Amino acid sequence: MYKGLFMDIQVSANVITISGNIKSVSDYQKIKSEIDKVVTTQKEIRINIPDSISIISSVIGYFNKLIMKDKIVLNMSVGNACLMELLEELNLKSLFNVSKV
């Protein structure tokens, strides 16, 4: 489990792992930048979020755009129960193909 103060992104082929909490506009910009690079060659991506307790709205909007406009197949793995609950409350669990880590 990631214990650092800052969010970190690791990319391996079409798998993006976002460690730490997703909480700022700069986190959104980093996520968008890395995923934009991946989706130039991949039409299906897996996003692993093992630690974050929430996701800021700009990241949710970006994921929606990837799915709805860019037709990217997104599969998300979530490690934190609070984040899972948030995605369920927002009716995003099925759209983002969310599963437990």
Instruction: Domains for the chain: give ranges and CATH numbers.
Output: 8-100 (3.30.750.24)
Stated pTM of the model: 0.93
Q: Is the pLDDT of residue 6 over 90?
A: no
What SS3 class is residue 21?
A: coil
The confidence band for 84, taking pLDDT boundaries of 50, 70 and 90, is very high
Q: Is the pLDDT of residue 1 over 70?
A: no
pLDDT at residue 2 in the model = 47
Over the stretch 25-81, which tens digit does the pLDDT of each residue have?
A: 999 999 999 999 999 999 999 999 999 999 999 999 999 999 999 999 999 999 999
8-12 and 15-19: which strand pairing? antiparallel
Give the span between the Cα atoms of 3 and 34, in whole angstroms: 21
